[in-house]
Structure 1
Amino acid sequence: MSYVLIACDMDETLLNDQHEICQRNVDAIIRAKKEFGVKFVPATGRGYLSIQHNLKTLGLYDEANEYVLSFNGGALTENRGNNLIQFKGLDFLKMKEIFEYGLDKDVCIRVYTKDQIFVFNLSESEAIRINSLKVPCNIMSENNVDFLADEPIAKILYQNLDIPYLKELKHNMKSITDGHCSVTYSSNRYMEFNALGVDKGQGLCDLVNILGLDIKDTIAVGDNYNDLAMLKVAGLSVAAQNATQDIKAVCDYTTKADNNEGVIAELIEKFIFNQ
């Protein structure tokens, strides 16, 4: 099988625990592009502006005909000038309803616009992560989102390290979310809310259609529930060794390497270089 595009989750898949790309991954991705013409497309829950330094590491920064799927598929950008090709945002009133529901729950709340992150009820664990990621965030002192009424909303998320607690919240929020938005989990700490129908799988399908490719010729790789949709639609699905068991169960292949050891390099060596 000849694969032409790799859609890759960022956190806990491409990035190691220090939120960096190991050299083994860098070398394999660059070689796959130069020698085999394989496109490498970050598919992340983050905003596209927050991964520019990663694109520089991979030689993809500001490159024409190279792409990023961000906000869990809510945005598709061409790297040249961060050209926004497609944006599927969350309705402000729905975001506000989710925001207000979470105010008396044990969650830190993040609201994403196209280019900014607003953090409410900052938790100690989230403060540590924000500091380690060094992604600019607006830490809010007032629990009100009305100032965002005219801003395009990408998504909103709840943060708590207790995933069973977040899953219980999902069950209790059915009247708010069912038929209105997509709900996924990521990084073993986030419950994410996107516009209905928005996920990495649909984003990958949209990109493939734009490029005139066949979805069977793509590889998707990830570790958590917000990767599930793209793993299901790609021609080959790959789970990182550190992925959740539910993700491993649906994938064609699970790497021996975890995110600290070169997940992407292993799959490229096996399925692109045929080593």
Structure 2
Amino acid sequence: MYKIIACDLDETLLSDDRTISKDNVEAIEKAKELGVKFVPATGRGFNTVGGTLKDLGLYDLENEYVISYNGGAITENKGSKLLHFEGISFEKASELYKRGLDYDVCIHVYTKDMVYAYKYVQEEKDYLAGRMEVTEIFDDNIDFLKGQEIVKVLYMNTDYQYLKGIENDLKEIIGDLDVSYSSNRYIEFNHQGVNKGQGLKHLVELLHVDMKETIAIGDNFNDLSMIKVAGLGVGVQNTVEEMKKECDIITKATNNQGAIAEVINQYILGTN
């Protein structure tokens, strides 16, 4: 019996219109009734997922959890209690920010409570509308963040090959970071060893659950670490083609067609 479902949000649980399908909500509720924990696992911060938690009946509940910042934080929903946090140094964030100025990218800097964006182009504003609040900045440095805990830095460009080229350019400064890709638009820089897979491992240890009793569901490369460590690693139908072979199964449904309900019905409820 699976005890934990760790599930990506954007392009996985959430439809393209940023809602959760009725089929998904009902299936998740049935899994919860059987004692299965449904754990959102997102690259975004905990403070951006309140609406999703409310839709799922998980808001402000004890013994329910969120893996956020790509595994950089684990939070208990009740009282937003932070149980685990691991970010990057200000010096590293500042270096990434300054190097990012040389590229055709929107730069995001995440603190525990806020996301700051440089070159905040309209395309990115449209994509993030309804997902999270962002503060636009215009300086060529982030000295105003000295003394604050910084979670991660990311660059946005919808050309994946362009982002891969940046990763190659920055080899000398990102060797001590965990680099991942998400949403077909981001290259993300976390602290070394920080990823969703490690986040799931931390949660499993916290709850004294066997990793074999977990399901991980996602659609992009920042989900791959948890998909590979989970007892059952699932890619939704719209998963990035290059990583489908790394998944144990691929759903028939996309994120717009109730992919999470498909997984729960088959592997938790046994109704498929």
Q: TM-score range by the shorter chain?
A: over 0.9
Output the CA distance in 2 between the equivalents of 1:134 and 1:15: 10
Secondary structure at the aligned position of 1:237 is classed as strand
- State the Cα distance separating 1:141 from its structure 2 match: 2.4
Pick aligned residue for 2:255 from 255, 259, 263: 259
Equivalent position amino acid for 2:216 in 1:
A
Q: Does the 8 Å CA contact 2:219/2:235 hold for their aligned counterparts?
A: yes
Establish whether residue 136 from structure 1 lines up as the match of residue 155 from structure 2. Answer: no
Instruction: Give the count of matched residue pairs.
Output: 271
Secondary structure at the aligned position of 2:263 is classed as helix
2:51 corresponds in structure 1 to 53
Secondary structure at the aligned position of 1:69 is classed as strand
2:12 corresponds in structure 1 to 13
Output the CA distance in 2 between the equivalents of 1:210 and 1:237: 20
User: Which is worse superposed, 106-115 or 141-150?
Assistant: 141-150
Establish whether residue 190 from structure 1 lines up as the match of residue 189 from structure 2. Answer: no
Output the CA distance in 2 between the equivalents of 1:141 and 1:20: 32
Output the CA distance in 1 between the equivalents of 2:264 and 2:14: 16
Establish whether residue 210 from structure 1 lines up as the match of residue 209 from structure 2. Answer: no
Moved over 3 A (4+): none
2:29 corresponds in structure 1 to 30
1:95 corresponds in structure 2 to 93
2:215 corresponds in structure 1 to 219
Output the CA distance in 2 between the equivalents of 1:233 and 1:141: 40
Pick aligned residue for 2:71 from 70, 73, 86: 73
2:164 corresponds in structure 1 to 167
Equivalent position amino acid for 2:8 in 1:
D
Secondary structure at the aligned position of 1:59 is classed as coil
2:238 corresponds in structure 1 to 242
Deviations along 1:59-105, one digit per CA (max 9) or x if unpaired, are 00000000000000000000000100000011110011111001021
1:125 corresponds in structure 2 to 123
TM-score (norm 2): 0.98
Output the CA distance in 2 between the equivalents of 1:247 and 1:206: 24
Equivalent position amino acid for 1:241 in 2:
Q
Output the CA distance in 2 between the equivalents of 1:134 and 1:228: 22
Output the CA distance in 2 between the equivalents of 1:160 and 1:248: 23
Equivalent position amino acid for 2:164 in 1:
K
Equivalent position amino acid for 2:265 in 1:
E
Residue identity (%): 51
Deviations along 1:197-230, one digit per CA (max 9) or x if unpaired, are 1000001001000100000000000000000100
- State the Cα distance separating 1:245 from its structure 2 match: 1.6
Establish whether residue 228 from structure 1 lines up as the match of residue 224 from structure 2. Answer: yes
- State the Cα distance separating 1:129 from its structure 2 match: 1.2
- State the Cα distance separating 1:134 from its structure 2 match: 4.9
Secondary structure at the aligned position of 1:143 is classed as coil
Q: Does the 8 Å CA contact 2:60/2:77 hold for their aligned counterparts?
A: yes
Equivalent position amino acid for 2:206 in 1:
I
Superposition RMSD on alpha carbons, in Å?
A: 0.8
- State the Cα distance separating 1:19 from its structure 2 match: 1.0
Which ranges in structure 2 are unaligned for 5 or more consecutive residues? Answer: none
Secondary structure at the aligned position of 2:153 is classed as strand
User: Which is worse superposed, 242-251 or 82-91?
Assistant: 242-251
